[in-house]
Amino acid sequence: MSLHILHVASEVVPFSKTGGLADVLGALPRAQAALGHSVTVVAPAHRSELGGKPPGRPAGSVAALGLRATVMASTHEGVEILLLDCPSLYVRPALYSLPDGEFPDNAQRFAFLSSAALTLAQDRGADVLHAHDWQAALAPLLAHHQGVDFATVLTVHNLGYQGVFAPWVLEACGLPEELFALDGLEFYGRVNFLKGGLVSADALTTVSPTYAEEILTPRFGCGLEGVLTSRKGALTGILNGLDVETWDPAHDPNLPQAFNATTVIAGKAAARHALATEASLADGERPIAGMVSRLAEQKGADLVAAAIEPALALGFDIVVLGTGEPRYEELLRGAELAHPGRVRLFRRFDERLAHLIYGGADVFLMPSRYEPCGLGQMTAMRYGTLPVVNRTGGLADTVADAGEPGGTGFVLAELTPQALVETLRRARAVLADPERLAALRRCAMGRDFSWDASARKYIELYEQLLATRPSSH
């Protein structure tokens, strides 16, 4: 049957973006619409991202918290987009924060989003309200509290961000005091928006099967492992997909020569030469270890910095694209100065250069401490670049070690600089063996990371929820 699905999130490509959440909201609804469902996305009209007036046509208004937003409606790639234009909440220089901290009214800004989305879901006769992360997590809680006639799903993209506020925000957000309880929003004497959604949504999902298991433990649960364990039966891990149109080496205008699994040797050689030239590497023939990442401890930037000297001794050149914590930028900048022509750090975000690194590198460095899903390793494999990863979250679900059947990359034995060096030593041996390298690249490039499979799993979940509701549509 055809479902009406309403997604609610704080950002959505191409209308606003700070990270992967926006990419998911741009891709998953589109894939669901392609399966024949009616799909709506509700998000704030962040004017700083829209270059002024929000796109679309006025489609009425919606009120909450004593405020009113004009609903700007448009259609993008088969999906109805409803942007909430409420200047007092969403005309800001950034989406969530400034360098000196988060906006002090973030609780109200996203309580409004959840409340408005709930009203729109009811007005439009939605079958499913699908909320994403803490900014939308009040929607399932309010839906449960009001006894609405549709199913609710909450997806956790990164448990580290929870929306925790002082108790006084209850009144400011129009939240009934009875919701400030152990089975509601209360969390060590504070209000936790994400917890409210976790305890009340009909189903919980996160962005990879392994991460769904990890967040039940103290190491990855961020203080909510008890809550999640109590709802373990409602929790599912569904791997994110990849935008296979944007990331397609066979049709990538950022590469000097397009390639597929059949022409990968020549295509990657051309890309490697172009990357070596742009990075001012002294010898375009050495293998390149690439990294496209936020430079943070979570992403293993410290491990990469510590492994540079031995990696160079193994014969790798190293190219890194990204910004992040100053200490890691400085360490990598120091390595660049100490090894001109062998190490290059590009301290910026550059979409074109990212494509060239994925295409031209031989291995891709992604030794994350935790990774709910991760897209870098999927992208690298699609370009025949073998990822070097830690066995965690989505990395564990997508990368098989070269020593296993169907290997697609290299998995660290433990999370240490020494283990990273040893893994690079194994990778270097494979790169010197054309037959093994070709087999690994074939397996890596043959993986299907399109959104279609993920979209179907979400539809199955929705249908299961609706089948068990006494008054489903």
pLDDT digits (tens, 9 = 90+) for 75-94: 999 999 999 999 999 999 99
Half-sphere exposure of 255 (CA within 13 A, CB side): 26
pLDDT in tens, 207-249: 999 999 999 999 999 999 999 999 999 999 999 999 898 899 9
461 and 443 part of one domain: no
- Structure confidence by residue, pLDDT tens digits, 255-271: 999 999 999 999 999 99
Give the 3-state secondary structure of residue 66.
coil
* 213 and 279 share one domain: no
Residues 458 and 421 in one domain: no
Give whole-number Cα distances, 299 to 152, 390, 423, in Å: 32, 10, 17
Name 82's bridge partners.
42, 73
- Residue 62 near residue 118, CB atoms below 8 Å: no
- Overall average pLDDT of the 116-131 stretch: 97
Residue 301 lies in a domain: yes
- Here the tokens at position 283 are 């010898």
Asked if 111 contacts 100 with a C-beta cutoff of 8 angstroms, the reply is no
Question: In this structure, are 82 and 42 located in the same domain?
Answer: yes
Element (H, E) at 98: strand 97-98
Residues 94 and 181 in one domain: yes
* pLDDT-based confidence at residue 100 (cuts at 50, 70, 90): confident
Question: Is 472's pLDDT higher than 70?
Answer: no
The DSSP H or E segment spanning 387 is: strand 386-389
Alpha carbon distance 76, 80 (integer Å) = 6
Evaluated on CA atoms 55, 57, 59, 62, the torsion sign reads positive
- 153 and 231 in a common domain: yes
Domain identity same for 166 and 300 = no
User: Residue 386 has which token pair?
Assistant: 């073998």
Domain identity same for 456 and 441: no
Q: Is residue 473 part of a domain?
A: no
Determine contact, residues 291/336, Cβ cutoff 8 Å: no
Give residue 284's pLDDT. Answer: 67
CATH of the domain at 269: 3.40.50.2000
Integer Cα distance of 220 and 435 in angstroms = 39
pLDDT at 471: 54
Gap between the Cα atoms of 25 and 161, Å rounded: 18
Neighbouring CB atoms inside 10 A of 470's CB total 5
Q: Return the ∠ at Cα 41 (arms to 71 and 68), rounded to 5°.
A: 25
Separation between Cα atoms, residue 339 and residue 331, nearest integer Å: 12
pLDDT at 374: 93
Mean of the per-residue pLDDT values of the chain = 95
Amino acid at 140: P
For residue 259, being part of any structural domain is answered with yes
SS3 state of residue 258: coil
The answer to whether position 278 is within a domain reads yes
Q: Is the dihedral of CA 158, 161, 167, 171 positive or negative?
A: negative
- Residue 19 confidence (pLDDT): 82
pLDDT in tens, 277-302: 999 999 768 999 999 999 999 999 99
Q: Is the CB of residue 372 less than 8 Å from the CB of residue 211? A: yes
Which residue reads 């589109």 in tokens?
A: 30
User: Do residues 221 and 195 lie in contact, with contact meaning Cβ atoms separated by under 8 Å?
Assistant: no
Supply the angle between the helices 20-34 and 451-468 in degrees, to the nearest 10: 70
Asked whether residue 1 carries a pLDDT value surpassing 60, the answer given is yes
* Claim to verify: residue 173 and residue 283 sit in the same structural domain: no
Cβ-count burial of 232 within 10 angstroms (0-12 exposed, 13-18 middle, 19+ buried)? Answer: exposed
Instruction: Please choose, from the candidates 303, 307, 297, the residue with its C-alpha nearest in 3D space to the C-alpha of residue 421.
Output: 307
Sequence-distant (≥ 6) Cβ neighbours of residue 423 within 8 angstroms: 388, 410, 411, 412, 413
Furthest-apart CA atoms within the chain: distance in Å: 69
263, amino acid identity: T
**Inside any domain, residue 361:** yes
Residues 38 and 186 placed together within one structural domain of the fold = yes
* Residue 11 domain boundaries: 4-241+452-468
User: What is the average pLDDT across 142-165?
Assistant: 94
Residue 385 shares a structural domain with residue 460: no
Q: The whole model's pTM is what?
A: 0.91
* Pair of tokens at residue 289: 């270890």
Are residues 255 and 210 part of one domain? no
Q: What is the DSSP letter of 237?
A: E
Number of domains observed in the structure of the chain: 2
Torsion, Cα of 146, 148, 151, 155 (10° steps):
-40
CB 145 within 8 A of CB 176: yes
Question: Can you give the pLDDT at residue 99?
Answer: 83
pLDDT of residue 358: 98
Tally Cβ neighbours within 10 Å of residue 186: 16
